[in-house]
Structure 1
Amino acid sequence: MRQPDPPRRRKPHRIKRSKPVLSIPELPLFLGQLRDERELTRRVASETTTISEPYLIQLENGKRHPKPETLDLIVAGYGLTTAQARHAHELLAAPLPLRDIASYRRYLEETPALTDHLTDLGEQHVPAMYLDPLSNVLAVNKPMTLALPGLEDVGNLAIYWFRPIAQQLFPDWPTQADYIVGRLKAGMGRYRTALQARKLLRSLGKSPEFATRWLSSTRIAYNWETSDHIRWRNPSTGEEKLVSVHRAEISEKAVMIMYSAYVNRHINGPG
């Protein structure tokens, strides 16, 4: 008599986790990322911040919005940096409207002092440029076009930084790439409802190097420390030089950022 087949063993059910996707900064997501980065359970996070666990869950799910003083408890409890704390409060506040690139450029044309300053720096062989809050290139002088060949054609410093040419120009590229991502998160947090921000993020998301940094880090950057020097390789000669970068925010009717670079000293020869 034929024996019945043994019952099939069912494979254990595996929970499929959704793949992280690039998204514009929002406060609930940022709070969850901060807690995850510190490897805190919600219970421990509750004890650290003196905020109830159910309320923390609602904050991370976006079902409740904290008061500024509640957010300050999280800032202190998680030990956030000054930049992270500022970013969190900007995400709590209403998003700012973002002007289009054409209006920024018109403002530059109507403000000769700004364009004259760019020209003056160029005559002193100082690379300089104006950017909007999302790193779109508004104007550059000749030394900057020589220092960063192809930047004007790309039209955006963040996109340019994740092109192969930037990795060739900057031997310490990963460090500067981290700053670029942190700076862009700060900008997109302020203008998070702007259509330009979503388009830019989709474009940058095509770069695995960018996507990894965007998803894995909670670093936020506003200012470049002038004491931090960048190693830059001259595209014409191959010589490496130390460069100090100066950043200035211009807030007269339009928020623009000016970057200027000062070559300090020669490091080595080509090759």
Structure 2
Amino acid sequence: MVDPEPEIGSFLKARRAALAPAELGLPDGPSRRRVRGLRREEVAQLAGISVDYYTRIEQGRSHNISDSVLDAIARALRMTPAEHTYLRNITLPRRGGAHGTQRVRPEIRQLLDAMDGTVPAMIYGRGMEILAWNRLAGRVSFDIDAVPEGERNGALLTFLHPAAKELYPDWEQGAQETVASLRAEVGRYPDDPGLRAVIAELQERSADFRRHWDAQAVQERLNGIKRIMNPLVGELVISYETFRLPGDPDQTLCTYTAEPGSPTAEALRELARLTDTALAARAG
């Protein structure tokens, strides 16, 4: 079970270490600092709370922390909106047990099918589990149909699939963003067994994951650009957009598009053709 109390301490210490006192108008002090970043007493001063209270919060010994105190700490540590939300989530009372099996409604699957051939699209669930995809999305990077069901997860594929670093020229940046998004998921679903299992497997099997996880970064990337070296059609430069489904808040729709008339747009059309040909041959 992901325990929020150690998470609070590790997260706040990492945020303290990321700030330089001079950036906040604080003196370096008469002696050399033993640790990087801000001291606890400096955070407490900036947040307007006592050093003892802040220390108890960081050590996980203070419960029922008010919104105003959390907001003050977030401001003191210059947290981003995603980091602020994560701080709130890990200080909330423990949620209930398992969240149950993740299922995609038939209407959403129809939406994916309607986009097929023109817009690659897939549905992600809790913990980056890949729940559904249209045919084109299943060939943009990994051949998702060929991936065993228990391994169809964005984080597992990024860190454990042998082709991941070849598929993504900017793999290091993507890996960092994947871990930061996964940590945000932990804040939302601290007791989800599937999410716990993914993190445990990655911590055991990937040194790269452990390195990024220890950085305590929190980020939710809802849009951006990815470069993919597709094995069939070459380089793709695609824009992605992520939408949380109003009727299924634990699920997100991710779409990939290309600039009209660009080489990537033509490559996606060719990929759709090759995919249809391969499926027809398999069926026949």
TM-score above 0.5, yes or no: yes
Q: Which runs of 4+ in 1 moved over 4 A?
A: 95-98
Per-residue deviation, residues 113-154 of structure 1 (Å, max 9, x unmatched): 211110011132x22111112111111111111113343422
User: Would you say the 8 A contact 2:177–2:221 is kept in 1?
Assistant: no
CA distance in 2, matches of 1:182, 1:95: 21
In structure 2, the residue matched to 1:131 is: 124
In structure 1, the residue matched to 2:60 is: 62
Aligned residues: 235
Question: Where in structure 2 are there 5+ consecutive unaligned residues?
Answer: 20-36, 268-284
How far is 1:180 from its partner?
A: 0.9
Q: How does 1:17-96 map to 2 (within 5 A)?
A: 26-38=7-19, 39-65=37-63, 66-96=65-95
User: Would you say the 8 A contact 1:95–1:191 is kept in 2?
Assistant: no
Question: Where in structure 1 are there 5+ consecutive unaligned residues?
Answer: 1-22
How far is 1:184 from its partner?
A: 0.7
In structure 1, the residue matched to 2:158 is: 161
How far is 1:56 from its partner?
A: 1.2
How far is 1:100 from its partner?
A: 2.9
Does residue 113 in structure 1 map to residue 107 in structure 2? yes
Query: Alignment partner for residue 248 of structure 1, among 240, 243, 262?
Result: 243
> Please, what is the CA RMSD of the aligned residues?
2.1
User: Would you say the 8 A contact 1:127–1:141 is kept in 2?
Assistant: yes
In structure 1, the residue matched to 2:196 is: 198
CA distance in 1, matches of 2:249, 2:76: 36
Letter in 1 for 2:141: L
CA distance in 1, matches of 2:128, 2:3: 15
Does residue 229 in structure 1 map to residue 225 in structure 2? yes
Letter in 2 for 1:224: L
Q: What is the TM-score with the length of structure 1 in the denominator?
A: 0.79
User: Would you say the 8 A contact 1:118–1:141 is kept in 2?
Assistant: yes
User: Would you say the 8 A contact 2:121–2:137 is kept in 1?
Assistant: yes
How far is 1:73 from its partner?
A: 0.7
How far is 1:253 from its partner?
A: 4.8
CA distance in 2, matches of 1:175, 1:181: 10
Q: What is the TM-score with the length of structure 2 in the denominator?
A: 0.76
How far is 1:96 from its partner?
A: 4.5
How far is 1:263 from its partner?
A: 2.7
In structure 2, the residue matched to 1:11 is: none
User: Would you say the 8 A contact 2:99–2:192 is kept in 1?
Assistant: no
Letter in 1 for 2:254: Y
User: Would you say the 8 A contact 1:96–1:190 is kept in 2?
Assistant: no
Structure 1 123/197 Cα, relative in aligned 2: closer, same or farther at 3 Å? same
User: Would you say the 8 A contact 2:121–2:253 is kept in 1?
Assistant: yes
How far is 1:181 from its partner?
A: 0.8
- SS in structure 2 opposite 1:142? coil
User: Would you say the 8 A contact 1:147–1:235 is kept in 2?
Assistant: no
CA distance in 1, matches of 2:124, 2:207: 24
- SS in structure 1 opposite 2:246? strand
CA distance in 2, matches of 1:78, 1:185: 18
Does residue 148 in structure 1 map to residue 141 in structure 2? yes
Identity percentage over the alignment?
A: 23
How far is 1:95 from its partner?
A: 4.6
- SS in structure 1 opposite 2:211? helix
Structure 1 168/95 Cα, relative in aligned 2: closer, same or farther at 3 Å? farther
- SS in structure 2 opposite 1:256? strand
CA distance in 2, matches of 1:90, 1:213: 21
